[in-house]
């Protein structure tokens, strides 16, 4: 995909709209050198009532939580940042896309300790046209040698840019082995997540997903569990999962904002055993969940329209 094909006209920066190409960052900033950024990734969907931002309140609530973890004193309220996101969608006049609000220390500082009292912040929102992160079809996954960062080293509920150094290492390893994605284990050898997504398994009428602690509890994950239980009467089990249990599951899929619901064709274990899953069947549980999710985000299920802003 061309680097310019997903550009929009405007970004939002500290209460100002800037043309896309005029958004710049100085070389010497605290966040740029030490990774002290926080961010969210949000979807905008077309509906019969116009463009809608999916679960905007939950995303901005987590953004501000992450900022607090990073030692930031954000000068804007949650409602103000939410309004900035809404205004940016309206100004760009695009019905579908991806939105990324993020906050950083922009001060010219080389000290590791960020002084929240004196260090100014940048609050920005970018919005770009829709694209597909993963294949429309099912994907091939392996378990890499790299492990998920230990929860005692950071707050796993926060979406900190520094966490993604771990994700980059995994992505490099996985793609060198010609897989689409990797499934990380935590340091106790339980299944965690992939570098940017949560994972779900199906066994009979139960959706099984790793418990919180070593994963980022995704908003898409939360949504999928709720609608699967309420609309499909599927049992939900959040628990620790050993990699050898993978052979017992019928289906597997990733969930997150960019890829929504992505079926997994196979997972290659560390001993090189390949576990294959049911994919592509119209009546598979994964496909039914995916279809339900698409109807919901496009405003076709009345009881969930309050999730669309």
Q: Evaluate if residue 3 carries a pLDDT over 70.
A: no
Distance separating alpha carbons of residues 267 and 144, to the nearest angstrom = 11
* Residue indicated by tokens 């890499």: 144
Give me the count of residues in the chain.
309
Distance separating alpha carbons of residues 125 and 92, to the nearest angstrom = 12
Cα-flanking dihedrals φ and ψ of residue 254, to 5°? -95, 150
- State what percent of residues in the chain have pLDDT above 70: 94
CATH class of the structural domain 139-300: alpha beta
3-state secondary structure 232-283: HCCEEEEECCCHHHHHHCCEEEEEECCCEEEEEEEEECCCCCEEECCCCCCC
Could you tell me the pTM of the whole model? 0.94
Distance of CA 140 to the CA centre of its chain: 19
Question: What's the CA dihedral at 307, 126, 257, 2 to 10 degrees?
Answer: 140
User: Residue 94: helix, strand or coil by DSSP?
Assistant: coil
Residues 240-263 pLDDT 10s = 999 999 999 999 999 999 889 999
pLDDT at 211: 97
Residues of the chain with CATH 3.30.470.10: 10-129
pLDDT, averaged across the chain: 91
Residues of the chain with CATH 3.20.10.10: 139-300
Residues 105-142 pLDDT 10s = 887 667 777 776 678 899 999 999 876 666 656 799 99
Q: Evaluate if residue 100 carries a pLDDT over 90.
A: yes
CA distances from 237 to 44, 93, 240, 245 (A): 29, 41, 10, 14
Residues 209-238 pLDDT 10s = 999 999 999 999 999 999 999 999 999 999
CATH code, 10-129:
3.30.470.10
Residues 138-172 pLDDT 10s = 799 999 999 999 999 999 999 999 899 999 999 99
Mean pLDDT for 79-107 is 94
Please classify residue 105 by burial: count the beta carbons closer than 10 Å to its beta carbon, then call 0-12 exposed, 13-18 middle and 19+ buried. buried
Residues 4-34 pLDDT 10s = 577 899 999 998 999 999 988 777 887 888 8
Half-sphere exposure of 29 (CA within 13 A, CB side): 17
Pairing mode of beta strands 50-53, 42-47: antiparallel
Q: Where are the alpha helices (DSSP H) in the chain?
A: 30-34, 56-69, 78-92, 164-176, 219-232, 285-297
């Amino acid at each position: 995909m061309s680097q310019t094909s997903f550009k929009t006209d405007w970004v939002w920066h500290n209460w100002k709209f800037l043309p896309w190409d005029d958004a710049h960052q100085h070389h010497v900033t605290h966040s740029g050198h030490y990774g002290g950024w926080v961010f969210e990734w949000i979807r905008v969907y077309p509906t019969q009532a116009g463009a809608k931002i999916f679960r905007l309140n939950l995303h901005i609530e987590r953004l501000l939580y992450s900022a607090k973890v990073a030692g930031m004193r954000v000068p804007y309220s949650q409602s103000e940042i939410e309004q900035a996101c809404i205004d940016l969608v309206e100004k760009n006049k695009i019905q579908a896309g991806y939105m990324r609000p993020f906050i950083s220390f922009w001060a010219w500082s080389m000290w590791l300790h960020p002084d929240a009292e004196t260090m100014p912040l940048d609050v920005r929102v970018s919005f770009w046209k829709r694209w597909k992160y993963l294949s429309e079809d099912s994907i091939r996954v392996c378990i890499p040698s790299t492990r998920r960062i230990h929860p005692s080293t950071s707050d796993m509920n926060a979406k900190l840019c520094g966490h993604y150094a771990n994700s980059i290492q995994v992505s490099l390893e996985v793609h060198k082995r010609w897989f689409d994605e990797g499934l990380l284990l935590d340091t106790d050898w339980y299944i965690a997540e992939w570098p940017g997504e949560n994972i779900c398994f199906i066994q009979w009428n139960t959706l099984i997903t790793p418990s919180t602690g070593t994963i980022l509890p995704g908003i898409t994950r939360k949504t999928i569990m709720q609608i699967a239980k309420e609309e499909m009467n599927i049992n939900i089990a959040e628990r620790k999962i050993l990699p050898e249990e993978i052979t017992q599951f019928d289906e597997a899929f990733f969930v997150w904002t960019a890829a929504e619901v992505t079926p997994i064709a196979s997972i290659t274990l560390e001993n090189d055993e390949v576990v294959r899953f049911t994919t592509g069947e119209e009546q598979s549980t994964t496909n039914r969940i995916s279809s339900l999710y698409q109807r919901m985000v496009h405003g076709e299920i009345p009881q969930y329209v309050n999730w669309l802003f």
